[in-house]
Structure 1
Amino acid sequence: MGFFNLSQPWRVVALASSLLWLATADLKAASLISPGALDLIHKSAEPFGLFTSRIYGGGLRDKWMGVERKLGDERVQLALCDGDRARCVSPAALRFLAIVDNARVRDGRARLGEINRAINLAIRPMSDLAQHGEIDVWSSPLVTFTTGAGDCEDYAIAKFVALQMAGISPDDLRIVVLRDTIRGEDHAVAMARLNDRWLTLDNRRMALVEDADVRNYRPLFVIDQHGVMRYEDPVPAAAVSRPDSPQATAVNFVAPAGMNSKSN
């Protein structure tokens, strides 16, 4: 006898049994996803795994837009010098291109490490106040390589451009502004994604550190090829006090829109 010939009560029971079977199957399928995998599903693709929102105003965005305008001109100059080194009249461009050359012949982590190490050694740490007589000046790479000095954001910007010229996709590059919870100041680093992991290129160290291993910093803002974003999803402050906490990189929304750095 066919299903649709059953009396009404039996049809209700059969339908309920079918729905229960389907629900049980869904639960069994869901149980195949481990808690760790579920965490990854809900994790942002940005450094530190935190979600971001695009910002369209403020001091930090204004500074980055100023740098972007200078980068347009400098990329043309670097391309011309890259194509004809003998006629390049910019010693700063030649020094910068030499770093890019050494990185291009390497692959993966070695390429990132070469740029981090070489730019750390090429620039003397100097505060904006000491160098420019102003607080918080963001310089383009050729300006920084002309003076041979800069602070954290100048290192980060130079690495950001050098990594692109060395063949790293802009989609895999960021500049991240963090709050140093020990020194009580803001700090900027370049970051590059390799094998789905974000590595920190920091002027304070030669080693590349994965974002999950960064301690005593709170990520505030992230800059990509499209502009500036603010980190969202703040973590309770109690998590920051535990060095072993996987959420030790909490967001500080009280931070100013611009950098407030020393010779960092």
Structure 2
Amino acid sequence: MSAGYLALSKPRHAAIAAGLALGFSLFAGPAGLQQARVAAAAQARPFHSQQRIAGDSDKARDAAAPVGLDRMSTGSVPTGVFGSVAFPFKPDALAQWQHMQQALDRLRREDCAGSTTCRTRMGLLQETVAAIADAPIAKKVDAVNLAVNKLLRYDTDANIYGTLDHWATPVETLTTGRGDCEDYALLKLAALRSAGLPAESLALVVVRDAKRNFFHAVLAVSTTSQTYILDNLRDTVLPDSALPQYQALYSLGAQRAWVHGYKRGSEFAMQKRPASLDKVLPGEGVANPS
């Protein structure tokens, strides 16, 4: 199984913007530095006026969707994400997922051992986390989503590790500077836990993108009003209700796992599910339901 089975004050704006710019100057060259400057300018805008910078091509839909999060308290893990009905289950990889929980707490420079690139990227992420320590939930989520999206370059497990199935820890991801969708989600999960969000409010959710017919993984953050999705395909955080193309398959929280289904009459209730979750490898290929 893949791992997917599973506004700020002006000084703080400046800290995040400077960190992003430094990261791109070190790892992405001139073109990346220009992207970082664009990202920093967007981060400096008022929170509720932010628009997506890059990612998904559905600009019209995202522009019309609600932008920005509420300031409510965190809620319990989102078992009904994307309009689904969730049932607890124990996947074969649950023990591996529980081991991953320990790795998610290793978000210090010392955890990078002798890797200079890891320590540098870790430092940039730590600057973002420190800058949002006292910020509302909305701004914590927005800042982490943007920072991780700009810090990493998308690549598949096959290209990075030579296998279709690799559980990349935050340290591994920051060492390579690359990752697939689940690696982005796991790093965001670790950063938000470090920023003070309770683990019980965060879940890695594996979905089928019905528009692209592609398996994908995102991070869900539950509040007392809605569930919000952090996605490597877009820099704007959206509520799950604004992403109707995502069919939840299963999710992993701090201590439990859920398999997701849909009520009779809903769009996804009529669609065939994968015969085995072992065939669901987010970011590695086109979904094959047989």
> Counterparts of 2:194 and 2:272 in 1: how far apart (Å)?
33
> Counterparts of 1:51 and 1:197 in 2: how far apart (Å)?
15
Q: Which of residues 66, 82, 91 is equivalent to 2:96?
A: 66
Q: Which of residues 127, 144, 149 is equivalent to 1:120?
A: 149
* Matched residue SS, 2:217: strand
> Counterparts of 1:65 and 1:119 in 2: how far apart (Å)?
26
The match for 2:260 is 231
The match for 1:135 is 164
* Matched residue SS, 2:188: helix
The match for 2:273 is 253
Q: Which of residues 214, 218, 234 is equivalent to 1:189?
A: 218
Q: Is the 1:113–1:208 contact (alpha carbons within 8 Å) kept by the matching residues of 2?
A: yes
C-alpha displacement of 1:198: 0.3
- Structure 2, unaligned runs of 5 or more: 1-77, 112-117, 286-290
> Counterparts of 1:251 and 1:175 in 2: how far apart (Å)?
22
Instruction: Tell whether 2:127 aligns with 1:98.
Output: yes
> Counterparts of 2:108 and 2:204 in 1: how far apart (Å)?
22
The match for 2:51 is none
What amino acid is aligned across from residue 212 of structure 1 in structure 2?
Answer: S
What amino acid is aligned across from residue 149 of structure 1 in structure 2?
Answer: R
Instruction: Tell whether 2:81 aligns with 1:50.
Output: no
The match for 2:240 is 211
Deviates more, 1:214-223 or 1:100-109: 100-109
Instruction: Tell whether 2:186 aligns with 1:163.
Output: no
> Counterparts of 1:250 and 1:190 in 2: how far apart (Å)?
25
- Structure 1, unaligned runs of 5 or more: 1-43, 83-88, 241-247
Q: Is the 2:248–2:261 contact (alpha carbons within 8 Å) kept by the matching residues of 1?
A: no
> Counterparts of 2:270 and 2:250 in 1: how far apart (Å)?
12
Q: Which of residues 209, 214, 229 is equivalent to 1:200?
A: 229
* Matched residue SS, 2:244: coil
> Counterparts of 1:222 and 1:118 in 2: how far apart (Å)?
23
Q: Is the 1:152–1:263 contact (alpha carbons within 8 Å) kept by the matching residues of 2?
A: no
What amino acid is aligned across from residue 128 of structure 2 in structure 1?
Answer: I
Q: Is the 2:207–2:250 contact (alpha carbons within 8 Å) kept by the matching residues of 1?
A: yes
Q: Is the 1:234–1:251 contact (alpha carbons within 8 Å) kept by the matching residues of 2?
A: no
Residues 95/262 of structure 1: CA separation in 2 closer, same or farther (3 Å cut) = same
> Counterparts of 2:284 and 2:274 in 1: how far apart (Å)?
22
Mark the structure with the bigger radius of gyration: 1
The match for 2:283 is 262
- Structure with the bigger RCO (C-alpha within 8 Å, sep 6+) is 2
C-alpha displacement of 1:105: 3.8
Q: Is the 1:120–1:155 contact (alpha carbons within 8 Å) kept by the matching residues of 2?
A: yes
Q: Is the 1:104–1:166 contact (alpha carbons within 8 Å) kept by the matching residues of 2?
A: yes
Residues 252/205 of structure 1: CA separation in 2 closer, same or farther (3 Å cut) = farther
Q: Deviations over 1:27-82 (max 9, x none)?
A: xxxxxxxxxxxxxxxxx863234332222233xxx1x643542441562x436859
> Counterparts of 2:169 and 2:97 in 1: how far apart (Å)?
6
Residues 112/250 of structure 1: CA separation in 2 closer, same or farther (3 Å cut) = farther
Q: Is the 2:261–2:269 contact (alpha carbons within 8 Å) kept by the matching residues of 1?
A: no
> Counterparts of 2:214 and 2:154 in 1: how far apart (Å)?
16
Q: TM-score if structure 2 supplies the norm length?
A: 0.61
> Counterparts of 1:115 and 1:107 in 2: how far apart (Å)?
13
C-alpha displacement of 1:206: 0.8
> Counterparts of 2:242 and 2:163 in 1: how far apart (Å)?
34
What amino acid is aligned across from residue 88 of structure 2 in structure 1?
Answer: R
What amino acid is aligned across from residue 84 of structure 2 in structure 1?
Answer: L
Q: Is the 1:218–1:249 contact (alpha carbons within 8 Å) kept by the matching residues of 2?
A: no
* Matched residue SS, 1:54: strand
Q: Is the 1:51–1:232 contact (alpha carbons within 8 Å) kept by the matching residues of 2?
A: yes
Residues 262/49 of structure 1: CA separation in 2 closer, same or farther (3 Å cut) = closer
> Counterparts of 1:215 and 1:108 in 2: how far apart (Å)?
24
Q: TM-score if structure 1 supplies the norm length?
A: 0.66
Q: Is the 1:102–1:114 contact (alpha carbons within 8 Å) kept by the matching residues of 2?
A: no
C-alpha displacement of 1:187: 0.5
